[in-house]
Amino acid sequence: MSTERPARSRRTVLAAGALTGLGLAGAQLAGPAPAGAATADGTASAGDTPSGGDTTYLVGRGVADATGEVAEVGMMGYGRFDQQAAGLHTRLRARGFVVVDRATGRRVLLIVADSPMIFESVHQEVLRRLAARYGDLYTEQNVLITATHTHAGPGGYSHHLLYNATTFGFHRKTFEAVADGLVEAARRAHDDLAPSGLVLSHGTLTGASANRSRVAFDRNPKADRDHFPDGVDPHTTLLRVEREGRAVGAVNWFPVHGTSMSGDNRVISADNKGFAAYHWEREVNGVDYLADGSPAFVSAFAQTNSGDMSLNLDLSPPTTPEDFAHTHASGLRQYEAAAAQLHEPGVTLTGPVDSRLVYVDLSDVAVRPEFTGDGRTHRTSKPCIGASMAAGSMEDGPAFPGFQEGENPFWDAVSDSVIYTVSPELKEAQAPKDVFVPIGEMNRVYPWVQERVPVMLVRIGRLYLVGIPGEVTICAGLRLRRTVAEIVGADLEDVLVAGYANAYFHYLTTPEEYDSQQYEGGSTLFGRWQLPALQQTAAALATALRDGTELPLGPEAPDLSGTVLALQPGVVLDAPPVLKSFGDVLETPQDGYRAGDRARVVFAGAHPGNDLHRGGTYLEIQRQDPGGAWRRIADDGDWATRFHWERYGVAASKVTVTWDIPQDTAPGTYRIVYRGDARNLLGTVTPITGKSPAFTVR
């Protein structure tokens, strides 16, 4: 293991204390902020930072809309059949970064998507489209796609049935919007390639997360527990992109769940990590997503090992409408911790860019003794859902009544004696799980969950990213990181788990955590030895990367695009209310408002699913300039706006637009504009527009 490392300073960011007011209390920086530092209120731009001037790499940045449907589609994350989307709070965006080693030409593409999960369906489609455009420049071997894991995004874009159960099957429009957005972000990043410096820094963010499964965490060996003395992973890492002495981009990694928005919420939202990125881009750096094809600054807030990390510090699920304040507060904390590192010297990266990916059939892995830890070989098994998975996470959002975390002897007895019989081999691999659903057996009839999964290792200089297609607990992540760091000779803090990467297989716990069968253990599908199996895979990847050798791709996941079930009918007809026309104002705004008030307008609208307005907007807040022209100052991607849709009779729609007028809004004359699309009986879709009466802000 290497020992010679340049010195690095670390900044501790404290976010302790109760939320106050609207929950806007953010982190406090330890010590005074440097001159020109970006602060919570966004008074300084991210570009005011010196650069080391190194341009070892070509780096490109890109951001694109990847929102999907916002009405009458099941939302993804909480597994609730009743959580059907009925509007939009903030758009979901994909952010792409291409890094090319100028010495060798080797490259990697990192995409961070405001998405609940990245499914194999999306992974395969994005790779197909990249191959069609760029040939073999971007392949499964150098493309890492990760999700922020918002629990307020639309579902229905997987090719596996379990994840489409709450969405009445596959939703083609959402799938296309997600794939389009990811590919567009990649294309923009590719087109943006330019000589750039990369600077890596680390910090600590406390008071921003809690361990929601402490009873499982406490079963781990002392060496693991001592690494996280408070039961949380406070490690926050920033990779910043610099050009000509200015920061033009950043990727932050910090583990916390995307559950600020509750299971009662019905509007699409990018949740806390999406807000952090939006705040840094839009509110601090003035990015206009609808006009800036190549924005001056692109930031992504990515996940690491967040499987047992909750943002609910009191370990109680959020409630609506307080969840908007929770989202803002959590996102602001993460932004502040990342922005504080802009003025740390960090380490200017040099060295190779490289990556490896293999597919592993997790349903049948022989795990060698050096990874099992007991001197014996063990096997993984076909995936099984535990009864504790059906309980959900009681701290972030419970699922089905009648289930609990831990032991569920009643459901175990019912399942094993009434519904099916668990084989001795399956029982041994899954023990002590109370097997509720042997979903691997169901895979024989129809694809419910993925068994052949991609595992990846990416190197950018001294930074290593272990791409795992699931939700990794902090101790499981620690063991993966140690496995890689020891082989490649890296500092442990420079090796990160990139969770929710390229596919989805639910959770990954340590064997000790698995034994307690909390929600995370019940959701570790392939049994007690799943983590050792993946450590074995990570070791092979690290060895190949270190030695410059290649690995067989392994058993690729099948293309299931021809087997999807789509059960929810599309929009048949839109009609305005009786004696009204599309776009008519049903409820007018007040004549005047003050900053801090909420303006509200109701329009006679149409179903938002007729046109998703990807790259566009369903609404505009417009200000009249002195010459009388109307200028857009906000849209449906802004934090201050909300777009609500509801049925009004049989075929009519009522659209409500609200605008929480920011404190810094200039006095003047404003109006709210609605942009929709109506479908007639012949299936023709026609744009419609509604404009509110003008009102003043004073």
pLDDT for the residue numbered 411: 57
Percent of the chain with pLDDT over 70: 88
- Which whole number is the average pLDDT over 514-520? 96
Query: For the chain, how many helices (H) and strands (E)?
Result: 15, 38
pLDDT for the residue numbered 21: 28
pLDDT band at 11 (very low <50, low <70, confident <90, very high): very low
Q: Is residue 310 annotated as part of the catalytic site, yes or no?
A: yes
Strands 143-147 and 107-113, sheet pairing: parallel
pLDDT for the residue numbered 319: 84
> pLDDT for 611-635, tens place per residue?
999 999 999 999 999 999 999 999 9
Task: Please provide the CATH number assigned to the domain covering 585-697.
Answer: 2.60.40.2300
Catalytic residue among 209, 213, 310, 516: 310
What phi and psi values does residue 539 have, to the nearest 5 degrees?
A: -65, -40
Task: Please list the helix, strand and coil fractions of the chain in percent, rounded to the nearest 5, in that order.
Answer: 25, 30, 45
- Which whole number is the average pLDDT over 584-593? 98
- One-letter identity of residue 690: G
Buried b / exposed e over 92-105, threshold 16 CB at 10 Å, is bbbbbbbbbbeeee
**Closest CA relative to residue 80, chosen from 540, 399, 396:** 399
- One-letter identity of residue 219: R
pLDDT for the residue numbered 34: 31
Residues for the chain: how many in total? 698
Q: Which two tokens stand for residue 106?
A: 């080797």
Task: Compute CA 105 distance to the chain's CA centroid, rounded to the nearest angstrom.
Answer: 29
> pLDDT for 231-275, tens place per residue?
999 999 999 999 998 999 999 999 999 999 999 999 999 999 999
H/E element holding 535?
Answer: helix 530-547
Q: Which two tokens stand for residue 502?
A: 């390229």
- Cα gap 230→544, rounded to integer Å: 35
> pLDDT for 294-339, tens place per residue?
899 999 999 999 999 999 999 887 788 899 999 999 999 999 999 9
> pLDDT for 14-27, tens place per residue?
333 332 222 223 33
> pLDDT for 388-432, tens place per residue?
877 666 667 666 556 667 666 655 555 555 456 778 889 899 999
Q: Which two tokens stand for residue 48?
A: 């005011």
H/E element holding 474?
Answer: helix 474-488
pLDDT band at 676 (very low <50, low <70, confident <90, very high): very high
Task: Compute CA 522 distance to the chain's CA centroid, rounded to the nearest angstrom.
Answer: 22
- Cα gap 541→466, rounded to integer Å: 9
pLDDT for the residue numbered 36: 32
HSE-CB at 502 with a 13 A cutoff on CA atoms is: 28
- Which CA distances in Å does 624 have to 584, 591, 619, 639? 21, 15, 16, 21
- Cα gap 529→366, rounded to integer Å: 9
pLDDT for the residue numbered 392: 66
> pLDDT for 641-666, tens place per residue?
999 999 998 999 999 999 999 999 99
The residue among 533 and 26 whose pLDDT is bigger is 533
pLDDT for the residue numbered 5: 34
pLDDT for the residue numbered 293: 84
Whether the predicted pLDDT of 476 surpasses 60: yes
Average pLDDT of the chain to the nearest whole number: 90
Whether the predicted pLDDT of 197 surpasses 90: yes
> pLDDT for 24-74, tens place per residue?
233 323 332 333 333 333 333 444 344 445 689 999 999 999 999 999 999
Q: Are 150 and 323 in contact (CB under 8 A)?
A: no
Q: Are 514 and 308 in contact (CB under 8 A)?
A: no
Q: Are 126 and 143 in contact (CB under 8 A)?
A: yes
pLDDT for the residue numbered 412: 59
Q: Terminal CA-to-CA distance of the chain, rounded, Å?
A: 64
pLDDT for the residue numbered 45: 43
The residue among 15 and 603 whose pLDDT is bigger is 603
Q: Find residue 510's DSSP bridge partners.
A: none
- One-letter identity of residue 479: R
pLDDT for the residue numbered 41: 34
H/E element holding 696?
Answer: strand 695-697
Q: Other C-beta atoms within 10 Å of 264: how many?
A: 16
- Which whole number is the average pLDDT over 138-147? 98
HSE-CB at 315 with a 13 A cutoff on CA atoms is: 9
**Closest CA relative to residue 603, chosen from 617, 582, 618:** 582
- Write out 475-517 in H/E/C secondary structure: HHHHHHHHHHHHHHCCCHHHEEEECCECCCCEEECCHHHHHHC
| Domain segments of the chain as ranges | 11-30+54-359+451-547, 585-697
- Write out 625-692 in H/E/C secondary structure: CCCCCEEEEEECCCCCEEEEEEEECCCEEEEEEEEECCCCCCCEEEEEEEEEEEECCCCCEEEEEEEC
pLDDT for the residue numbered 29: 30
Burial bucket for residue 382 (CB in 10 Å: 0-12, 13-18, 19+): buried
What global pTM score does this model have?
0.91
- Cα gap 224→228, rounded to integer Å: 7
